[in-house]
Every structure is written in C-alpha cells, then in structure tokens.
Amino acid sequence: MISKKKSDLLLVDHNHDGVDRRGFLKCMAWAGTGALCVMQGGVLKSFSLSRPSEIDPAAAAGELRFVQISDSHMGFNKPANPDVTATLKVAVDKIRALPSVPEFLLHTGDISHLSKPEEFDAVDQILKDTGKEVFYVPGEHDVVNDDGQQFRDRYGKGSPGAGWRSFDKSGVHFIGLVNVMNLKAGGLGTLGAEQLKWLEKDLQSHSKSTPIVVFAHIPLWSVYPEWGWGTDDAAQALSYLKGFGSVTVLNGHIHQIMQKVEGNITFHTAASTAFPQPAPGTADSPGPMKVPAEQLRKVLGITDVQFVRGKDALAVVDSNLA
Amino acid sequence: MKGITRISLLSVSLVTGLSGFSAKANTPRAEAQAAPAMVAVKIDNFSFGPQSISISAGTKVTWTNRDDIPHTVVSTEGVFKSHVLDTDESFSFTFDKPGTYPYFCSVHPKMTGQVVVK
C-alpha cells in the first residue's frame, strides 16, 4: 500500500517484493527521506520506521544486532542545530525502543565538536543510557589540538597506534580504523603505512568465510574528493579484504546516508545525530545544512545493523530520528 | 595680558617649530608606515580569503574564522600552527623572514592558502 501521509516519508512499501540489488541502490536514493532498506543475502526488503509495529519480528531477528551512530558533534550550537544534546538523546530513545535489543554500539567519529573534555564527557553520559558498550573511532573533530591524545586515552586503550583495533562478536570480526590523523594539505583522509601493515596482519588470522565489519570516520571510498570525502590510501586497505565473503564498511563524516556495493564489499555511511550536510556538489561547501526546524529530525539518524548467519551480507537499516 | 600673549605666541611658535622638526624627522618612518603592518584573512565557507596574500617582512597576518564550523591554520613546513578556531576566533602570526609559506586547515585539509613574504 502506498502511504501518502505527510508525516510518513516512505514512498513505496516494498515488503515481500524480493527486490534485487539494482532495486537496493534505487531504494537508497530515498534513504535520505526516511525509507528503510534491509538487505539480507542480496534480497531487499524495506520497512517504514514511522510504523515500527509493522516490522516483521522474524525479519528483525538474527544472531547479532548492533547500532551505528555517528557525528554527534557535541559542542556544536549554531543555527543548523542549536541543541545537539537533545537530538543525541532522541537517538538514544530510538535505540532503546528498537524491537530487538542491539548488543553494542559503534560510533563512527566526530563524537565532539572541538575535542573538549566536557564534550566527550557529555556523549559518554548520554550513551550510558543505552546500557550498551560503545566502540569509537575518531573523527577529525576529535583529534584537534592534542594529536588525538585524549581520544587514545579515553577510547583507544590497547590500540597499538592512534586508536585502531579489532574485536570479535558472535563470529563477526570488527575492525576500527583511524583515518583522520596526520592529514596532509590538499589531501583526503589517510590510514598510513603503520596502520595498513597492522590491518594486513590482522586479517591474515581470519578465514575468508568470517564476516568482516570495518568502521572508520571518513568514507573509505571516493564519495566526493573535492570536499575531502574519501581516503587517500583506502585502496590498499580494501585489497586486503578481497576474497572475504562478507565485508561491510561503515563510515560517517558526510552526515548523510549513502550506500555502494562494489564486488564483495558493501559501503554504508550514516547520518549524523547533530546536523545534515548537503549532497555532493549541491552547495559551495560541505558545511552544516540548515533545514526547517520541523524537518531537522527527519534528516538525522541511527543505523541498526543485523547479522544473520548463513547470509552473505549484513542487513543495514537506517532510521531517522523523526 | 600682553605678557601672556607674548608667552602664548612663543609657545605656539615653539610648538610649531617642534612639530616641524618632528615632522621632518618622521618622514622616513612615515614612508615605511604607509605599507600596512597588519593583514586580515577571512576564513569562511571552507576557504581562506584571500587564498594567497603578498606581504612585506614584519607584517602580522590575522586569520579570523567566520564560518559556522571550526578550522585551523597550519603551516605545511611547521612554521606556525593555530589552535582550533571556533566561529569568530582569531589567530595571528608575524612573518619576519621573506619566503613562501603554504598552509592549510588540518581539520579540512582540502582548504589551502599561502603567504608570500617579500
């Protein structure tokens, strides 16, 4: 049934359609307006988050479920969103209201706006309400002034470098990468030789059938280099991931939802919980995009990720905060 | 009254004389001061404006962030480095040595600029 309610941003309900990958990418074009696309082993299903009771519990069940949030920019207070604390709290409420409880959270960076201790503290406090463990990677806003020292002390303990690390959950291998350190003039995000060496070694101890989730702040594919939306040496990192059956890359930084499938890798960027940014090339610069107040929550969001053993790919569902 | 007038006249001529004297003495310095000792660069819309500036040695450059996002001013050769500048915050650096000084925003590295010091 096609919903025409003003508050319901889903244009067409694809439930039980079995839309294939071409349909998946088409559906992604609507993600910014609030349509949910869930990919399970190459078959697409979509649901409206404005009607969560209509989400089939069987489709929402799985062996591993986690949430990605990103770009909370705690400390930002300009017109694009004068209250980023409130919108982050709405994200937490949404997480707590999900039909199936996620096991943990991934935060893909720009936790703070100016790397201030009180900004990091505020986010820690707010996310505590989810009752879940949170794994962080830094954004460029998290490493200003101190070369990432605070980030390392708070969230990167045990990391051999600037905060990169890996861990396993229910047979899925997670890799947090840091691509916001030592940025060069005129350049994009960068991983650096030391981290790449570590990554190559880290992957060698896992079989090709292990599902991999890589999370990093700046996109690991070239979304829009003119605005710095890409990573200089990502190609080398991605080459180490060849041959793995299921690879999902989760990024933030661009404050909008985008997805791309390339070979065995699905790339996904998350919306910010703070403010949206313009689509590539649609504005002079990638600054905070002001939208009418009543629409703000519709362009902010959280990402709910589901792993179902036996399926090729992770199902990634975005929900807006409205 | 006459005495006062004479003294006043004397004071005036003395002051005039002194002014004239100091004006002559100041002329070389006045010429040097004709060139601005301070130049402003505005940071806005993810760019430095003007992107390239040409100044004399000894000039102080002040960058002010008018964008709604924080930026930094970092020399690629390690000559100067600002703290993160939120909206309306400034950073200044005085360039004493001639040369070309490329710089960028370390938070948004696509933002680049240069200072040419003569």
DSSP annotation string for A267-282? EEEPPPSS---PPTTS
Q: Is residue A149 part of a domain?
A: yes
Q: Do A79 and B68 touch (CB under 8 A)?
A: yes
**Who has greater pLDDT, A69 or B91?**
B91
Mean pLDDT along residues A69-88 = 91
Asked whether A230 and A219 are in contact (CB, 8 A), the reply is yes
Residue B47 and residue B110: Cα distance in Å, rounded? 9
Judgement on whether residues B25 and B82 belong to the same structural domain of the protein: no
The length of chain A in residues reads 322
Condensed to tens digits (0 to 9), the pLDDT of residues B44-68 reads: 999 999 999 999 999 999 999 999 9
Domain range for A73 is 64-320
Question: Phi-psi bin for A160: left (phi > 0), alpha (psi -120 to 50), beta?
Answer: alpha
Type and span of the H or E element at A47: strand A43-48
Q: Do B69 and A184 touch (CB under 8 A)?
A: no
Q: Do B107 and A113 touch (CB under 8 A)?
A: no
Of A78, A114, A185, the CB nearest to B84: A114
A117 interface with B at CB cutoff 8 Å = no
Question: Phi-psi bin for B84: left (phi > 0), alpha (psi -120 to 50), beta?
Answer: beta
Domain range for B54 is 38-117
Contacts of A135 (CB under 8 A, 6+ apart): A104, A105, A106, A107, A155, A167, A174, A176, A215
Judgement on whether residues B69 and B105 belong to the same structural domain of the protein: yes
CATH number where A117 lies: 3.60.21.10
Q: Do B67 and A141 touch (CB under 8 A)?
A: no
Question: Does the structure's ipTM exceed the value 0.85?
Answer: no
Query: Residues of B numbered 33-92 whose beta carbons fall under 8 angstroms of chain A's beta carbons: which are they?
Result: 45-47, 67-70, 72, 76, 83-84, 86-87
Query: Looking at CA atoms only, how far is residue A179 from chain B in angstroms?
Result: 12
Judgement on whether residues B27 and B77 belong to the same structural domain of the protein: no
Mean pLDDT along residues B66-91 = 96
Mean pLDDT along residues A66-75 = 91
B112 interface with A at CB cutoff 8 Å = yes
Residue A164 and residue A136: Cα distance in Å, rounded? 9
Return the structure tokens found at A47: 């649901």
Condensed to tens digits (0 to 9), the pLDDT of residues A8-65 reads: 223 343 444 433 344 333 333 322 223 333 334 433 333 433 344 455 666 655 567 7
Asked whether B101 and B114 are in contact (CB, 8 A), the reply is yes
Query: Looking at CA atoms only, how far is residue A158 from chain B in angstroms?
Result: 25
Q: Do B103 and A184 touch (CB under 8 A)?
A: no
Condensed to tens digits (0 to 9), the pLDDT of residues A159-191 reads: 999 999 999 988 889 999 999 999 999 999 999
Among chain A residues, CA nearest to B113: A185
**Who has greater pLDDT, A229 or A15?**
A229
* Start-to-end CA span in chain B (Å): 59
Judgement on whether residues B44 and B99 belong to the same structural domain of the protein: yes
Return the structure tokens found at A62: 């799985």
Judgement on whether residues B30 and B43 belong to the same structural domain of the protein: no
CB contacts, 8 Å: B106 with chain A: 140, 144, 183
Q: What pLDDT sits at residue A313?
A: 63
- Supply φ then ψ for residue A88, to 5 degrees: -70, -40
Among chain A residues, CA nearest to B111: A186
* Test the B interface: residue of A142, A183, A232 with most B CBs within 10 Å: A183
Whether pLDDT at A224 is above 90: yes
For residue A39, the cross-strand partners are A44
Domain count, chain A: 1
Q: Is residue A270 part of a domain?
A: yes
The H-assigned helical ranges of chain B are 2-33
Judgement on whether residues B70 and B17 belong to the same structural domain of the protein: no
- Supply φ then ψ for residue A124, to 5 degrees: -55, -45
Mean pLDDT along residues A120-142 = 96
Residue A200 and residue A285: Cα distance in Å, rounded? 35
> Using 50, 70 and 90 to split pLDDT, how confident is the model at B22?
very low
Pairing outcome for strands A212-215 and A247-251 = parallel
Judgement on whether residues B47 and B84 belong to the same structural domain of the protein: yes
For residue B91, the cross-strand partners are B63
Among chain B residues, CA nearest to A115: B84
Asked whether A229 and A219 are in contact (CB, 8 A), the reply is yes
Q: What pLDDT sits at residue A12?
A: 40
* Start-to-end CA span in chain A (Å): 21
Return the structure tokens found at B92: 């200044």
Domain count, chain B: 2
Residue B15 and residue B12: Cα distance in Å, rounded? 5
Judgement on whether residues B19 and B65 belong to the same structural domain of the protein: no
The length of chain B in residues reads 118
Mean pLDDT of chain A: 80
CATH number where B76 lies: 2.60.40.420
- Based on the number of CB atoms within 10 Å of its own CB, is B102 exposed (0-12), middle (13-18) or buried (19 or more)? middle
Residue B98 and residue B55: Cα distance in Å, rounded? 9
Q: Do B109 and A185 touch (CB under 8 A)?
A: yes
Asked whether A190 and A207 are in contact (CB, 8 A), the reply is no
Q: What pLDDT sits at residue A61?
A: 55
Judgement on whether residues B42 and B1 belong to the same structural domain of the protein: no
* Edge-to-edge strand ranges of the sheet holding A258-262: A165-169, A172-176, A212-215, A247-251, A265-269, A258-262
CB contacts, 8 Å: A228 with chain B: 108-110
